[in-house]
Chains A and B, each alone.
Chain A
Amino acid sequence: MWERIGAMVYKEVRQMLRDPGTIAMMFMFPIIQLLIFGVAINNDPRHLPMAVEVNDNSPVSRAIVAALGTTSYFDVTEVAGIYGAGERLLAEGKVQFVLTIPADFSRALVRGQRPQLLLSADATDPASTGPAVAAVNQAVNSALAQQLVGPLAQRQTGAAPVDLVLHRAYNPEGITSHNTVPGLLAIILSMTMVALTAQSVTREHELGTMENLLATPLRPIEVMVGKIVPYFGIGVVQVLVILAAAAFIFRVPFEGSLALLLGVTLLFTLVCLALGFTMSTLVSSQVQAMQASMFYLMPSILLSGFAFPFRGMPVPIQWLAETLPPTHYIRLVRGIMLKGWDWRLALPESFVLLAMLLLFTAIAIRRYRDTVA
């Protein structure tokens, strides 16, 4: 019995060694997972971009800005002096937080009127807002400790001299599903569109039916479009199901325009199909196509900002994640659904997706041949 098992083991090992995809799976997967979970994912994100809208130009305000910069939680990327500028930066997604220092802040402080400071957090991603709030409090207190000296020192005793108001923008209750359900749109489309399309052409090759197809007057582009259309139909159904679930089950707010969302979803679906098709021209078997789509899906789920805060990842990983189509699409979906983006705000990310679409289509057309070798 052991000899027979040994024969099987020997055969399996030989076959495994001849299959580069399996080897890559065995060695690359643990390494990629280690990198992602060990390095990239951080549930206590630091260096989050923050804007400070200073409507009160005073030493106290400047001290607060300086103190915020010294915490590791925030990078104060913008200091705006125009009323409403902070809100725009938040809407565009350029910053995660806006601290608004109202006009007459320092006067009210001196008078002991407990002026308010408004901290607006982009709560489309509630996970990354929590610990940051405490850090703002601390920064403000340390700035005030410096500034409230001499006769003003008494302001530091008793009730807090400043009232920090937290505004969870776009998701006031911090509901996680408001963040994940729109993101799911990207993940589910990626899973089905990329994986199914990647296997479709390989399948014809593997079954030997491709030779027959190519001997007919079918043009490559006709084969391509004909193969993609049904998958596209599946994608449309998926989008409608998720949107219905978002609206009726999860009660995800829908601030923007449905037409715009469907528009960018169409674009993203085309990117997925083109990518899947490109993959299928690069692999030589269905198994390899599966493996290739796995290699694509794992980072898409983990790095795109779907599962973990995007800004919590180290900068090089963020760059890597920028190359993944879902990263951009997730921003678009959250922007449109939760923040009410109009087409102008949606334009930059849409352009990235469009560029990806053109790139993948060009590769797919270049790689696809109407001959068998």
Chain B
Amino acid sequence: MNAIPAIAVRGLTKRFAGRTVVDSVDLTVQPGRICGFLGPNGSGKTTTLRMICGLLIPDAGGGEVLGLDLATKRRAIKHQIGYMTQKFGLFSDLSIAENLEFVARVYRLDNRKARVDAALERLGLASRADQLAGKLSGGWKQRLALAAAVLHEPRILLLDEPTAGVDPQARREFWDQIHGLARDGMTVLVSTHYMDEAERCHEIAYIAYGVMLARGTISQVIAASGLKALLGEGPGADRFSTEIEAREGVEMAAPFGTTLHVCGPDLAALKRAVEPWAGRVSFRESQPTLEDVFIHLMKSAPDNSVLETA
């Protein structure tokens, strides 16, 4: 951790038409780490990623990416960053191989053919190299997009909701790849909505409505929230969620299958609140989940986002 951070931005702010989409976001990611970037829809995740990779100029704030100043070295940064957009950003009417070749040429890579062939081999797409990229299924498109984003061996990889709409097995493989890349020293900043994916990150950053609300490893974030949780089990435990949630001291009560998950900031108050149901449902103390923490953070953050940012 003595090397310069891969990403070190401070006070990043972006306004669109008077609305502050990203408000003074600080983010530091050390080399080789996978940082999960979480937050509700329209919270400014994409905008922050775009500012880091030079697609947007921040209205205020700045910082360094790979030690290069974000304000003046945008082009140098672009050479060392791989960016995978939320929407499939390759050319549907080019073949798989043509897409990769295009990327290789844009970055002026040497041994173009060898690199493209190697990437196709790794992807397991060598036999389908001439197929149009647009004809691939969602999971394959995402793999191809990742292969294209890392073809030039960037030092930082930015992924914007890379696994949306991808089946569990493909997601698992995708994350294995991400960890493999991180082992080789690549720094990864990945935005996601999935809690299980957040748990696969080294650390997480939670942004809501443009404001960074939590930062750290998962256990740090959970501990910092100060949330306490109870797990209720018993006949029909899941049916009382609405009534329990209305009680004082309960922040949320959510059914999970036949069990009930209740949390709030104070354990004693929580226990008092579920007392009336104690006869039928047995409550025991449990760990708050990352999801609890995020919903808790979201509720306490003011929602100033009505429009999804483009």
Which A positions have Cβ atoms within 8 angstroms of B? 207-209, 211-212, 214-219, 371-373
- Contact yes or no, A371 B106, CB < 8 A: no
Q: Which of B55, B75, B79, B85 contacts A208 (CB 8 A)?
A: B85
List, in ascending order, chain A residues with CB within 8 A of B85's CB: 208, 211-212, 215
Contact surface of B with A, Cβ cutoff 8 Å: 16, 50, 53-57, 75, 78-79, 81, 83, 85, 87-92, 103, 106-107, 310
On whether the beta carbons of B56 and A207 are closer than 8 Å, the reply is no
Given that A372-B55, A373-B56 are contacting pairs, would A216 and B89 also be in contact in the complex, using a CB cutoff of 8 Å?
Answer: no
- Which of B16, B78, B87, B310 is A216 in contact with, Cβ under 8 Å? B78
A373 touches B310 (CB 8 A): yes
Tell me which residues across on chain B come within 8 A of A208, comparing CB atoms: 85, 87-89
A211 CA to B78 CA, complexed, in Å: 12
Q: Are B89 and A209 closer than 8 Å at their CB atoms? A: yes
Q: Which residues of B contact A373 (CB under 8 A)?
A: 16, 56, 310
Assembly CA distance A373 to B83 (angstroms): 17
19 residue pairs of the A-B complex, CB under 8 angstroms, read: A207-B91, A209-B91, A211-B55, A211-B85, A212-B90, A215-B54, A215-B81, A216-B107, A217-B75, A217-B78, A217-B79, A218-B106, A219-B75, A371-B50, A371-B55, A371-B56, A372-B50, A372-B55, A373-B16
Roughly how many angstroms separate A64 CA and B96 CA in the complex, as a whole number? 78
A207 to chain B: which residues have CB within 8 Å? 91-92
Task: Provide the bound-state CA to CA distance between A215 and B65, in Å.
Answer: 14
A217 with B106: in contact, given A371-B57, A372-B55, A373-B310 (CB under 8 Å)?
yes
Q: What chain A residues lie within 8 Å of B107 (beta carbons)?
A: 216-217
Would you give the shortest CB distance from A366 to chain B, in whole angstroms?
A: 16
CA distance A218 to B102 in the complex (A): 11
A230 to chain B, nearest CB (A): 14
- Please list the 9 inter-chain residue pairs (A to B) with the smallest Cβ-Cβ separation, ordered nearest first: A212-B89, A208-B87, A215-B83, A216-B106, A372-B55, A217-B78, A211-B85, A217-B79, A371-B56
How far, in Å, is B112 (CB) from chain A's closest CB? 15
Contacts of B16 in A (CB 8 A): 373
Chain A: minimal CB distance from B208 (Å) = 21
Q: Are A372 and B56 in contact (CB under 8 A)?
A: yes
Chain A residues near B57: list those with CB within 8 A. 371
On chain B, the residues within 8 Å of A218 by CB distance are: 106
- Provide the residues of chain B in CB contact with A212, threshold 8 Å: 83, 85, 89-90
Q: Complex formed: what's the CA distance from A215 to B87 in Å?
A: 14
For residue B75, which residues in chain A have a CB less than 8 angstroms away from its CB? 217, 219
Residues on B with beta carbons closer than 8 Å to the beta carbon of A372: 50, 55-56
Residue from the list A211, A214, A216, A371 in contact with B103, Cβ < 8 A: A216
Q: Give Cα A373–Cα B56 distance, bound, in whole angstroms.
A: 7
Distance between Cα atoms of A371 and B16 in the complex (Å)? 14
Chain A residues within an 8 Å CB radius of B106: 216-218
A211-B86 Cα distance, complex, nearest whole Å? 10
Closest A residue to B82 using CB positions: A215
Residue of A whose beta carbon sits closest to that of B148: A212
Contact status A211-B89, CB under 8 Å: yes
Cα distance A218–B74 in the bound complex, in angstroms: 12
Q: Which of A209, A215, A219, A371 contacts B90 (CB 8 A)?
A: A209
